[in-house]
Amino acid sequence: MAIRVKLDHLLLDRRVTLTELAERIDITIANLSVLKTNKARAIRFSTLDALCRELNCQPGDLLEWTDEA
Amino acid sequence: MKRIQRSPVAPVLFAIVNGAWYLVAIVLVLAVVLTLAGARVAIQLGPDGALNIDAAHPNVTMAIPVSVRVDDRALRVAAPGLGIDRAQLDDLQGTLRFPPRWGAFFAANLVFAVCWLGLALWILGVLRSLVGTLRAGRPFAAANASRVRSIGWAVIIGEAVRVSVVYFENRYAATHFSADGLQFLTRLDVSVVAIVYGLIIFALAEVFRAGTRLDEDQSLTV
């Protein structure tokens, strides 16, 4: 996918585990894992909003476009 | 894959299709057993070692579809109440029932009946799997599009086979039977409705395919 989710970097920076984040934004770990491993096909604005709020970042900090096929 | 709310109709549909599957399976087993038993009775080795073939069983009748044209001189059709003193019966379709004679035609009909029941059983099996996914709340399971498509093919191919068989049975009747005032016809009786049903099922298969793709997208939307 050309859009990469940099959730792993942000989690490392903020020293937050996937489980903690899942509890804080009320999303299942399975879904968050799909996002973290770049398997997601789409992300809801509500999810993006919750992630930015909890990780104190901008959408651009979370998403990155790469030239991969 | 996310489950959607279960349809209240699905369990009823599943029960009906399941019941039909068992019914056809029993009829198929009976047909195979009777066919084998009939063949065993009909084909016997004579005392001189020669093959003795006799299928004129007293209680067995064979029925084949026929098309007939009625000679309007032999059969007068009128509606006096409407003031119509002469009407005409055109091509009629019906069933010709007769005691069978063992031979290629009889054997081919038995084999065809067993194959037909087998096809019906297979379609019902596919339909049962399909309705099973509906019952489980997973209508867009990945296999469903190909299941629907295969049912569509079965309907179209089944119709083609039916037309061919009816044609040859019509021809058999026209060759061997005669009746006063009737003329047996040989017709290619293609059912447009069956073809249209097949095409509608193909369209439904495409709907299922698109639905499966949307469902996958939906399940990977976080």
Per-residue confidence (pLDDT) for residue B57, from 0 to 100:
54
How many C-beta atoms lie closer than 10 Å to residue B68's C-beta?
Answer: 21
d(CA A49, CA B187): 70
The verdict on A33 touching B (C-beta cutoff 8 Å) is no
Q: Does A50 contact B at CB distance below 8 Å?
A: no
A25 interfaces chain B, CB cutoff of 8 Å: no
Min Cα–Cα distance to chain B from A30, Å: 10
Query: pLDDT at position B70, please?
Result: 86
Q: What's residue B45's pLDDT? A: 46
Task: For A5-49, write each residue's pLDDT tens digit.
Answer: 999 989 999 899 999 999 999 899 999 999 999 889 899 999 999
Task: Output the pLDDT for position A58.
Answer: 93
Cβ–Cβ gap B217/A42 under 8 Å: yes
How close is the nearest chain B Cα to the Cα of A13, in Å?
22
Residue in chain A lying closest to B221 (CA): A42
**pTM of the predicted model, to two decimals?**
0.70
Cβ burial of B220 (10 Å; 0-12, 13-18, 19+) is: middle
Residue B56: Cβ within 10 Å count = 10
Quick one: pLDDT band at residue A69, thresholds 50, 70, 90? Answer: low
pLDDT score of B4: 62
B220/A34 touch (CB, cutoff 8 Å), yes or no: yes
**Tens digit of pLDDT per residue, chain B (222 long)?**
555 666 788 889 999 999 999 999 998 898 888 777 765 555 444 455 454 445 555 566 788 999 998 887 778 888 989 999 888 888 888 899 888 777 788 888 888 888 888 989 999 999 999 999 988 888 888 899 999 999 999 999 999 999 999 999 999 999 999 988 888 999 888 999 999 999 999 999 999 999 999 988 888 888
CA distance B208 to B98: 47
8 Å CB contact between B186 and B170: yes
**Interface test mutation site (partner A, options B215, B216, B222, max chain A beta carbons within 10 A):** B222
